[in-house]
Chains A and B, each alone.
Chain A
Amino acid sequence: MKDKIKLLQGDEAVVEGAIAAGARFFAGYPITPASEIAEGLAEKLPIYGGKFIQMEDELASMACVIGASLSGLKSITATSGPGFSLKQENLGLGMMIEVPCVVVNVQRVGPSTGLPTSPSQGDVMQAKWGTHGDHPVIALAPSSVKETYELTVNAFNFAERFRTPVILLLDEIVGHMREKVVLPDEEDIEIWNRKKPEVGPENFNPYEETDGLVPPMPNYGEGYRYHTTGLFHDRTGFPRGTNEDAKNLMDRLMAKIEGNMDIISLYEEDIRDDDEIIVLAYGSTMRSAINAINQAREAGIKAGWIKLKTIWPFPVDYIKEVGRRAKALIIPELNRGQIIKEVRENVFGNAEVHGINKYDGTLIKPEEILNMIQEVK
C-alpha cells in the first residue's frame, strides 16, 4: 500500500485516473486551466510506454486523439472553453464514426477569452450541443478531486464500452483544488476495453450490430482493411447516400447511449422520506449545496440533495420521479441557468424550480443556497 495516499489537484487526478484506466496517448494544446493535465501526461505517459504530443492547435489535438484510438491506444485530450469550441467539428466525427476517446474540458468563464482563471459551468450545453447535428453525448462532471479520479476511469470505460467520445467536464475549482485522495489498488479498478471482432477480415463489417448496438472495433494494421467516413454510412462503413441509412445510423447511435442509462447515468442522493426541498447540483457547486443542506437540516428544515455525476444523458425518468415527490427544487449553477432547463422540462410544474446563478467568476456560497432554502420552505 505504498504511494496510495496522495495530495492531488483535480487536474492531476485526471492524469492518475487516465493512466490507471489504461490511457496511453495524449494530444493537446496549452490552455488555462487545463495545462496541468498535459504537463502531467507528458511526464507520465512515456514511463508506461505511452505517447504524448503537443499539437499545433486544438483542432489537430482532437483529430490526433481520434487517429491514435483507431490505431488501438486509449486516448485523451484536455482543454478549456475556447479550445472546446475549436474541437467540436472533429468531436462530431468521433461520435459519427464511433471512436472511443476522452475529452476533458476544465471550464472557465466565457464566452471568448472571458475570465481564463475563474470557475464556470458555462459549457454544460456546449457539451451537449457543441457539434452540429443530432448526436449522442456522454458527459460526466466531478465535484471533488477523488471523484475526478473515479470519473476519469469511468469516462474511459464508457468510451471503450460504448465506442464513443466521452466528455469530462471539470470546472476551474475542481481542476485546481488540492485534496487528499486515497487511490485504489490496481486490482480494485474495473477496466473495460473495446470489443474486438470475432470474425476474420472476409466476414467483417465495421458497423454491423453483431452483439448489441456497439459494433466491435479492430485496430488499424490488423488486416481488416476497413473504411470509415464522416458521411452517413451503412454497416459496411461506406456511404450510400440513402435517407434510410441516415436514419438507421442516427437511431443506433442514440439508442446505444439512451438504452444504457442504467449503466451510464451516475448520480447520488441524500433525500429522506419527508424531505420537501431538494438541491440538485453538479461539479464544484455541489460542495456548497451539501454544506447548505447540512445547515438547513440542523435548523430543522426538511431538505435533501441530488448530485449529478453524469450530466448527459440527462436522467429524465429519475428527475420526473423526484419532481413528483418534492415540493421545490433548487438548482445552483455557475452559469445563467443551463441544467435548470432540463429539470424544468421534466418536472413539468409538479414542483417549484428555482435557480441560483453566478456567472461573474465567483462561487456560489453555502449561505446563498441556505437563504434560498429558507425562502422557499
Chain B
Amino acid sequence: MGYKIDEYLRQDKLPHIWCPGCGHGTIMGNLIRGIDKAKIDPDKTVVVSGIGCSGRASGYMNFDTLHTTHGRAIAFATGIKLANPELNVIVITGDGDGTAIGGNHLIHGARRNIDLTVVLMNNHIYGMTSGQFSPMTPTGDNATTAPYGNIDQNFDLADLTKASGASFIARGTAYNTRQLIEIFAEGLLHTGFSFIEAISQCPVNYGRRNGLSSAVDMLKCQRDSSVNIRKWDSLSKEEKKGKFPTGVLYKEDKREYTEMYQEIIDSVQEEAK
C-alpha cells in the first residue's frame, strides 16, 4: 500500500537533524504512515513534543505543532484537547522526557484516560545531551554518567501505564515498520489515553558505549529481542529472558475524560435553564 507521506511532512525543513542510523526518523515516518492509514483530518491534528532528540519531530510534521518544555508535552496536550475535544492530539516524547522529568504527567494523563496518542521514542539514553543514562537505560549498561555501569532499575512502561489507567497500550520497534504503522493507526483511532512505546536506536550515544557500534547491529538486536504478543504467552520464563513483547498489549473500552466533562457541562446547563 502506498502512503501519502509527503503532504504530512514539511519538505522545506528536511533533511532532519537526527544522526545517520538514528531510529527516530524511521519512527516519525511510520507515525505519518499511521496517520495516513487512520485517515484523521490533518487540519484537526496537533502534534506536541517535549525536549530532546524526539522533541524535534514536531518541527518536521505538517500539522499544528508545538515544541514545548522538557517533560511537559502531555500537560500542554491536555489543555489543547480539553479546550477543543474535536482535535486529534498526538504527543511525541522520549524516555528521558517522558519517564524522568515528565513521568508525573505520563501517569496522570493515563489516569484521566484523556484522548491523547502518546508516542514515546525509547532510545534508552539521553541522546541530545550526549549519553547520560535515563530511567530506561538497562541496568548494567554504560553511559557518560554511569561510567562504572548503571545501577538504576528500569520501568516496564506497559505495566506503568496500565497501572496508571491508560486504555490502549502498545509497543513496537523501529525495526518492524509494518507492525509499528498498524499500531500507530490503531492507537490514533482509539478513544482514550493511547500509549505507544516505540523502541528506537541511538548508535551515537548509546550503542557505541554498549557494544553495538552500528545502527544495523542495533536493529538486529531489536529484531532478536522482540516477540509478537500473540506468541509471547507461549514462551517459557527462560525463553522470555532478555526479550520483550510487541504489538497491542492492552486495550479497554473506558470512559474518556473530555466526554465526561462535556456531560457535566450539559447537565449543569440543563439545570440552569
Which residues of A line the B interface, CB within 8 A? 24-25, 27, 46-47, 49, 51, 53, 55-57, 59-61, 63-73, 75, 89-90, 93, 219-231, 238-239
In the bound complex, residues from chain B placing their C-beta under 8 Å from that of A53 are 78-79, 82, 261
CA distance A219 to B66 in the complex (A): 13
Residues B80 and A68 in contact, CB atoms below 8 Å apart: yes
Q: How large is the interface on B (under 10, 10 to 19, 20 to 34, 35 or more residues)?
A: 35 or more
Residues B75 and A55 in contact, CB atoms below 8 Å apart: yes
CA distance A53 to B44 in the complex (A): 22
Shortest distance between the CB of B268 and any CB in chain A (Å): 5
Can you pick out 18 interface pairs between chain A and chain B where the beta carbons lie within 8 Å of each other? A24-B83, A25-B83, A56-B108, A60-B75, A63-B68, A64-B75, A64-B76, A67-B79, A67-B83, A69-B83, A70-B66, A71-B84, A71-B87, A73-B84, A221-B46, A227-B66, A228-B65, A238-B13
Number of A-B residue pairs at CB separation under 8 A: 137
Q: Which of B48, B63, B268 contacts A47 (CB 8 A)?
A: B268
CA distance A295 to B137 in the complex (A): 70
Shortest distance between the CB of B57 and any CB in chain A (Å): 11
Shortest distance between the CB of B14 and any CB in chain A (Å): 12
- Given that A60-B72, A66-B76, A220-B46 are contacting pairs, would A230 and B83 also be in contact in the complex, using a CB cutoff of 8 Å? no
Shortest distance between the CB of B74 and any CB in chain A (Å): 8
In the bound complex, residues from chain A placing their C-beta under 8 Å from that of B105 are 56, 60
* Secondary structure type dominating chain A contacts: mixed
Q: Does any Cβ of A come within 8 Å of B235's Cβ?
A: no
CA distance A59 to B69 in the complex (A): 10
- Given that A64-B79, A71-B80 are contacting pairs, would A226 and B59 also be in contact in the complex, using a CB cutoff of 8 Å? no
CA distance A335 to B104 in the complex (A): 34
CA distance A56 to B75 in the complex (A): 9
Shortest distance between the CB of A68 and any CB in chain B (Å): 4
CA distance A24 to B81 in the complex (A): 14
In the bound complex, residues from chain B placing their C-beta under 8 Å from that of A224 are 64
Chain B, residues 96-117, CB within 8 Å of chain A (1/0): the string is 0000000011001000000000
CA distance A66 to B78 in the complex (A): 10
In the bound complex, residues from chain B placing their C-beta under 8 Å from that of A228 are 65-67
Residues B59 and A221 in contact, CB atoms below 8 Å apart: no
In the bound complex, residues from chain A placing their C-beta under 8 Å from that of B226 are none
In the bound complex, residues from chain A placing their C-beta under 8 Å from that of B272 are 47
Shortest distance between the CB of B173 and any CB in chain A (Å): 28
In the bound complex, residues from chain A placing their C-beta under 8 Å from that of B13 are 238
Residues A63 and B76 in contact, CB atoms below 8 Å apart: yes
CA distance A261 to B66 in the complex (A): 31
CA distance A64 to B67 in the complex (A): 14
Shortest distance between the CB of A298 and any CB in chain B (Å): 51
Q: Which of B59, B87, B264 contacts A238 (CB 8 A)?
A: B59
CA distance A340 to B123 in the complex (A): 52
